[in-house]
Amino acid sequence: MGDVFKALADPTRRTILDELTERDGQTLFEICARLASKHGLGSSRQAISQHLDVLEDAGLVKTRRAGRYKLHDIDTTPLRPIVERWLDKPATGSTPAKGSS
């Protein structure tokens, strides 16, 4: 789980995941172009490639070959243990917040 948190700690990596959520199966060139045009991020292809490596090591991005292209897809599987640990638990013994009914 530590690799997932490390990967998510960087805003550029979170933006890459946002872009892959919006449109899966992008090449490095496509990701770089979308980051530059939509988010004003002028990172080099080498820097984005390194970010993708961190995301892949954490299991958040999977790569596949299509001819001479390497495509990147988001994989949310590593997020499930986080959701189950902190978000999917029923509230027990909690009191309603002020002003809520």
Q: Name the percent of the chain lying above pLDDT 90.
A: 75
In the prediction, which pLDDT does 92 show? 62
Calculate the alpha carbon distances from 60 to 37, 42, 50, 74 in Å: 23, 23, 14, 6
pLDDT digits (tens, 9 = 90+) for 41-61: 989 999 999 999 999 999 999
**Phi–psi pair at 43, nearest 5 degrees:** -70, 150
In the prediction, which pLDDT does 9 show? 96
Q: At 62, which helix (H) or strand (E)?
A: strand 61-66
